[in-house]
């Protein structure tokens, strides 16, 4: 029996260009701000380079290129002295604005003694650095919003985790914004509604879901319904607000941060944090345990994603059905951060809305779950 042959053009082929050589324009979270305020310099591998983070005497965080412009010493191996970072090689001192403030053994500081200083932002207890290949300052309207619950005694502190993801570009993570079906097959949840809105520098996902009956990461009961409203503010920072009906007098409220920064064109650091609102009658210890449970569940969720990313191939021309959502539109929105600001086109930033009818998928999945449970009995 002979093998079947196909004429040219009958078979869909995968198209994939190399990852972008440049890194996204926008605010990138480097982690919780307090971790950098211990009086020591901290080295960060990001944007294909090395940066150093240090706090001055006022507690304000500064970010400079890591390597001294004198003879190339690593400032992250140096010492914070007053409001400056001192190089371990020859003790040249650099202020947060990038200017050399002192050379102890020299009569004067060369007038051109300057290194690169990065624009920073502290918000929600986190440190952000602005990246723009063109060197433009951050526009006032492109910022990170305040999270209302952060810092309130009614909410827990951040449960924070990070992981280096190698062999993948950041776009793999951002694609999740529109990927309704993977929440069932990868994350053990059944979407009941799913909508996307893209406008300007913000991409949003609104979803309600219930846990799968046969498998689940967090168990709030078979009848629990969770509402998730998530938005990327720029290319790398998502705020996700959860409201979970768990059968109590009030819903469980939590905020998840999903953020990342690129290390190279083919690797990134994924970070995620959780705060939870304390429910009536809940002690600080109980709230912290609940937040930890959320955090552990989030770790498991992202580990599920990472396995997929590490074993899939890059694809620029995905073959889609209607229920796959606006993948191409999301990628067009995302492209705005990889071109010069003068080349940002209207179709990258104009408002776009798309809502998926999840009723058929949910019915199919309910039947699959019932069959799985029946097979286990």
pLDDT digits (tens, 9 = 90+) for 255-285: 999 999 999 999 999 999 999 998 888 888 8
Nearest to 347 by CA among 232, 175, 204, 200: 200
229-243: pLDDT as tens digits: 999 999 999 999 999
**Comma-separated ranges of CATH 2.102.10.10 domains in the chain:** 26-131
**Strand duo 49-55 + 42-46: pairing:** antiparallel
Tens of pLDDT along 31-81? 999 999 999 999 999 999 999 999 999 999 999 999 999 999 999 999 999
pLDDT of residue 247: 63
3-state secondary structure the chain: CCCCCCCCCCCCCCCCCCCCCCCCCEEEEEEEHHHHCCCCCEEEEECCEEEEEEECCCCCEEEEECECCCCCCEHHHCEEECCEEECCCCCCEEECCCEEEECCCCCCCCCCCECCEECEEEECCEEEEEECCCCCCCCCCCCCCCCCCCCCCCECCCEEEEEEEECCCCHHHHHHHCCCCHHHHCCCEEEEEEEEEEECCEEEEEEEEEECCCCCCCCCCCCCEEEEEEEEECCCEEEEEEEEECCCCCCEEEEEEEEEEEEECCEEEEEEEEEEECCCCCCHHHHHHHHHHHHHHHHHHHHHHHHHHHHCCCCCCCCCCHHHCCHHHHHHHHHHHHCCHHHCCHHHHCCEEEEECCHHHHHHHHHHHHHHHHHHC
Does 3.30.360.10 match the CATH number of domain 159-376? no
Architecture per CATH, 26-131: 3-layer Sandwich (2.102)
Q: What is the pLDDT of residue 1?
A: 46
Give every CB contact of residue 242 below 8 A, 6+ residues apart in sequence. Answer: 226, 227, 228, 252, 253, 254, 255, 256
pTM of the entire structure?
Answer: 0.92
CB 339 within 8 A of CB 333: no
* CATH 3.90.380.10-classified regions of the chain: 159-376
Measured distance CA(24)–CA(70) in Å, rounded:
29
For the chain, residues with pLDDT lower than 70 are 1-9, 214-223, 246-248, 377
Residue for token pair 């990868």 = 186
Cα separation, 85 vs 93, whole angstroms: 6
The Cα–Cα gap between 377 and 365 comes to: 19
pLDDT at 279: 84
Residues paired with 32 in a beta bridge: 126
Q: What is the pLDDT of residue 7?
A: 57
Per-residue tokens: 345: 């086109």
CB 47 within 8 A of CB 158: no
Query: What pLDDT is attached to residue 215?
Result: 59
Residue 127, classified by CB atoms within 10 Å of its CB into exposed (0-12), middle (13-18) or buried (19+), is buried
Say which residues have a Cβ less than 8 Å from residue 243's Cβ, sequence separation at least 6. Answer: 226, 227, 251, 252, 253
Sign of the dihedral defined by the CA atoms of residues 306, 308, 311, 316, in that order: negative
What is the reported pLDDT for 9?
63
Q: Are 375 and 367 in contact (CB under 8 A)?
A: no
Q: Is the dihedral of CA 170, 172, 175, 176 positive or negative?
A: negative
Q: Mean pLDDT for the chain?
A: 91
Cα separation, 212 vs 221, in Å, equals 10
Phi and psi angles of residue 368, each rounded to the nearest 5 degrees, phi first: -65, -40
User: Would you state the pLDDT for residue 97?
Assistant: 97
* pLDDT (0 to 100) of residue 5: 54
pLDDT of amino acid 217 = 46
């Amino acid at each position: 029996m002979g093998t079947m042959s196909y004429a040219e053009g009958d078979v869909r082929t995968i198209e994939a260009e190399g990852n972008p050589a440049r890194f996204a324009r926008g605010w990138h979270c480097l982690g919780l701000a307090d971790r950098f305020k211990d009086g020591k310099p901290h080295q960060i591998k990001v944007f294909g380079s090395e940066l150093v983070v240090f706090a001055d005497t006022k507690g304000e965080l500064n970010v400079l290129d890591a390597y001294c412009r004198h003879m190339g010493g690593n400032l992250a191996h140096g010492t914070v002295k007053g409001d400056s970072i001192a190089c371990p090689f020859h003790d040249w001192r650099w202020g947060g604005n990038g200017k050399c403030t002192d050379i102890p053994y020299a009569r004067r500081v060369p007038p051109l003694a300057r290194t690169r200083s990065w624009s920073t932002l502290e918000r929600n207890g986190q440190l952000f650095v602005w990246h723009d290949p063109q060197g433009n300052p951050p526009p006032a309207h492109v910022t990170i919003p305040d999270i209302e619950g952060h810092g309130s005694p009614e909410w827990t502190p951040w449960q924070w985790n990070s992981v280096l993801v190698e062999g993948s570009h950041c776009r793999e993570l951002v694609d999740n914004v529109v990927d309704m079906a993977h929440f069932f097959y990868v994350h053990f949840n059944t979407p009941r509604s799913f909508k996307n809105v893209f406008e300007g520098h913000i991409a949003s996902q609104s979803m309600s879901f219930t846990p799968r009956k046969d498998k689940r990461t967090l168990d709030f009961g078979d009848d629990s319904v969770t509402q998730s409203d998530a938005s990327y503010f720029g290319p790398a920072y998502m705020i996700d607000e959860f409201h979970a009906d768990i059968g109590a007098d009030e819903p469980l409220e939590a905020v998840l941060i999903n953020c990342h920064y690129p290390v190279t064109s083919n690797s990134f650091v994924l970070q995620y944090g959780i705060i939870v609102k304390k429910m009536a009658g809940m002690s600080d210890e109980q709230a912290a345990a609940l937040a930890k449970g959320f955090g552990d569940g989030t770790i498991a969720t992202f580990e599920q994603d990472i396995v997929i990313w590490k074993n899939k191939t890059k694809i620029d021309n995905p073959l889609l059905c209607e229920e796959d959502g606006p993948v191409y539109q999301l990628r067009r929105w995302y492209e705005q951060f990889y071109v010069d600001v003068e080349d940002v086109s209207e179709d990258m930033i104009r408002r776009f809305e798309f809502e998926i009818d999840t009723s058929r998928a949910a019915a199919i999945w309910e039947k699959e779950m019932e069959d799985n449970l029946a097979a286990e009995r």
